[in-house]
């Protein structure tokens, strides 16, 4: 029946094209209404083409949501997590945390929950001599609904945050800080910061003061379950094959539809992604979706390879800030007249868990090396170096981390090293001015293994993090030297 329908459609199209090519010659044709004489369609299979186009645009549109859902999926499928369990790393992350541009300087804490089961309580400990926690709680679209920590909702004083689901009409008990979520599934990622004189082990113990449970359990909260995946592989990266759309369905079949997204939700229906209906795409849809998500990945890689010059932090250098905001210094990319899908997709392609708004003096700044000093893209299999000055513009510390440019995640290597920081200077060979030269590539120069971050032959994406940047960084009077190719 389907092939008959296609045959009839093809005959109809052929007849229409014949009609178009043999126009009336008496000058009575209407002005417009059809293509120019002799036109022919470039599309041979409209069913495939429309599904491909909608799938390609859907990948760009849903990048914030798919990235945060991938973190949840990995935790539940690989780590055995359940809602309200808390991931607490006992040490800094290794390449086994397969995540987008993660840091390996401070231990991570993360959790996921589902507000369809009711409001959720998050107990945050007081910041002080034992440590402090900071980070973001995000909704299913990965937009920050609460900043936590000394500069967050709790102001470092601790307290009970109460996350309520869409349309919640219930009472908020006294003593809770309410956060109304526009979506059902929410997640958080925090960093446990050691207090002065304290260690990473102390920061880990401090993180275990967190509690997360449903409000319905508040009278007798269950024992908190913590999971430490320090020695486990935790895959959190989005899929760039047909599984991408399984994840998209998992999100869109649960969350409310935003008014500005209803056109896209209508388009998703042609791919079989509809709330309340099973996702069972036919072979044409599967083929179109697979190629579309592959092409979208290549498109975003191309975007970064040709990053707009106005996105570079210093116009005479080749660094872009990881935190590329919209024009309002936020990360929603929503304006009165439009949603900027391309720039939103690009930002969430290489970053997760952004703050609500980027201040002029952010606590942490990340400079991503987009090219070498000559403007050439960094290549796989080559050795590069950067001269890190002795007086970096930081109040706390700096850290250079190298990612796999293809995945934006850590690089596996025999040593497991992903980062060198100011804490490692005592182990590195110093330059005459007190600075250090760090090498990035498949093999260390002889005698400089302590100054080397391995790439195992992959294309690198180096990121210099500035923790507690000073005014010289923010007013750009300081400029970080570019990477140089070592011949």
Same domain, 366 and 401: yes
Whether 136 maps to a domain, the answer reads yes
Same domain, 216 and 248: no
Same domain, 261 and 354: no
Q: Which residue has the higher pLDDT, 307 or 106?
A: 307
CB 371 within 8 A of CB 305: no
What are the pLDDT digits (tens) for 188-214?
999 998 888 999 999 999 999 999 999
Q: Is the pLDDT of residue 453 over 60?
A: yes
Same domain, 221 and 266: no
- Domain end call among 176, 204, 231: 231
- Taking the C-alpha atoms of residue 443 and residue 16, their distance in angstroms, rounded to an integer, is 64
Whether 32 maps to a domain, the answer reads no
Pairing of strands 86-88, 226-227: parallel
Judge residue 305's burial from the number of C-beta atoms within 10 Å of its C-beta, 0-12 exposed, 13-18 middle, 19 or more buried. Answer: exposed
Whether 450 maps to a domain, the answer reads yes
Range 22-39 average pLDDT: 80
What are the pLDDT digits (tens) for 243-298?
999 999 999 999 999 998 999 999 999 999 999 999 999 999 999 999 999 999 99
Percent of the chain with pLDDT over 90: 88
Same domain, 149 and 172: yes
- Domain end call among 205, 231, 257: 231
Same domain, 266 and 320: no
Pairing of strands 234-235, 97-98: parallel
The CATH number of residue 394's host domain is 2.60.120.600
- Taking the C-alpha atoms of residue 293 and residue 55, their distance in angstroms, rounded to an integer, is 7
- Domain end call among 231, 262, 283: 231
Pairing of strands 159-164, 120-124: antiparallel
Whether 71 maps to a domain, the answer reads no
Same domain, 142 and 279: no
What are the pLDDT digits (tens) for 317-347?
999 999 999 999 999 999 999 999 999 999 9
Same domain, 223 and 265: no
Q: How many domains does the chain have?
A: 3
pLDDT at residue number 7: 47
Q: Is the pLDDT of residue 2 over 80?
A: no
Whether 367 maps to a domain, the answer reads yes
Range 347-364 average pLDDT: 94
Is residue 13 very low, low, confident or very high in pLDDT (cuts 50, 70, 90)?
low
Domain of residue 196, residue span? 80-231
pLDDT at residue number 8: 47
Q: Which residue has the higher pLDDT, 16 or 212?
A: 212
The CATH number of residue 174's host domain is 2.60.40.1610
Q: Is the pLDDT of residue 176 over 60?
A: yes
Range 172-180 average pLDDT: 96
Whether 8 maps to a domain, the answer reads no
pLDDT at residue number 229: 97
Whether 455 maps to a domain, the answer reads yes
Q: Is the pLDDT of residue 140 over 90?
A: yes
Q: Is the pLDDT of residue 428 over 90?
A: yes
Range 30-51 average pLDDT: 94
Is residue 105 very low, low, confident or very high in pLDDT (cuts 50, 70, 90)?
confident
Whether 128 maps to a domain, the answer reads yes
Same domain, 205 and 294: no
Q: Is the pLDDT of residue 48 over 90?
A: yes
Same domain, 267 and 353: no
Range 213-222 average pLDDT: 97
pLDDT at residue number 415: 95
The model carries a pTM of: 0.92
């Amino acid at each position: 029946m389907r092939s008959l329908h296609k045959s009839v459609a093809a005959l109809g199209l052929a007849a229409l094209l014949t009609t178009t090519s043999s126009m009336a010659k008496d000058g009575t044709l209407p002005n417009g209404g059809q293509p120019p004489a002799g036109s022919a369609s470039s599309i041979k299979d409209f069913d495939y083409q429309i599904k491909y186009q909608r799938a390609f645009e859907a990948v760009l549109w849903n990048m914030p949501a798919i990235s945060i859902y991938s973190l949840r999926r990995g935790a539940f499928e690989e780590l055995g997590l359940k809602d309200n369990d808390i991931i607490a790393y006992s040490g800094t992350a290794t390449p086994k945390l397969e995540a987008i541009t993660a840091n390996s300087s401070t231990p991570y804490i993360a959790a996921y929950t589902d507000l369809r089961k009711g409001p959720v309580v998050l107990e945050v400990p007081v910041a002080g001599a034992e440590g402090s926690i900071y980070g973001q709680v995000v909704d299913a679209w990965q937009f920050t609904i609460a900043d936590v920590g000394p500069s967050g909702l709790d102001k470092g004083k601790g307290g009970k945050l109460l996350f309520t689901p869409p349309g919640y009409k219930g009472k908020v008990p006294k003593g809770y800080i309410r956060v109304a979520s526009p979506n059902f599934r929410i997640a958080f990622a925090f960093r446990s910061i050691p207090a002065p004189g304290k260690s990473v082990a102390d920061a880990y113990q401090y993180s275990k003061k967190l509690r997360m449970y449903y409000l319905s359990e508040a009278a007798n909260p269950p024992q908190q379950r913590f999971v430490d995946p320090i020695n486990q592989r935790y895959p959190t990266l989005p899929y760039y094959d047909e599984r991408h759309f399984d994840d998209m369905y998992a999100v869109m079949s649960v969350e409310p539809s935003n008014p500005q997204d209803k056109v896209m939700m209508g388009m998703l229906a042609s791919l079989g992604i509809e709330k309340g209906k099973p996702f069972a795409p036919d072979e044409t849809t599967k083929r179109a979706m697979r190629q579309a998500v592959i092409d979208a990945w290549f498109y975003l890689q191309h975007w970064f390879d040709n990053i707009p010059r106005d996105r570079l932090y210093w116009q005479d250098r080749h660094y872009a800030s990881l935190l590329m905001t919209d024009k309002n210094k936020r990360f929603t990319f929503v304006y009165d007249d439009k949603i900027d899908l391309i720039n939103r997709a690009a930002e969430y392609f290489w970053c997760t868990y952004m703050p609500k708004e980027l201040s002029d003096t952010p606590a942490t700044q990340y400079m991503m090396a987009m090219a070498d000093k000559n403007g050439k893209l960094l290549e796989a299999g080559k050795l590069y170096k950067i001269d890190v000055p002795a007086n970096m513009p930081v109040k706390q510390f700096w850290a250079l981390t190298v990612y796999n440019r293809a995945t934006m995640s850590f690089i596996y290597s025999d040593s497991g090293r992903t980062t060198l920081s100011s804490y490692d200077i005592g182990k590195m060979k110093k330059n005459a001015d007190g600075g250090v030269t760090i090498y990035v590539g498949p093999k260390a120069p002889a005698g400089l293994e302590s100054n080397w971050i391995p790439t195992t032959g992959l294309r690198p994406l180096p990121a210099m993090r500035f923790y507690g940047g000073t005014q010289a960084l923010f007013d750009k009077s300081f400029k970080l030297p570019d990477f140089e190719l070592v011949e």
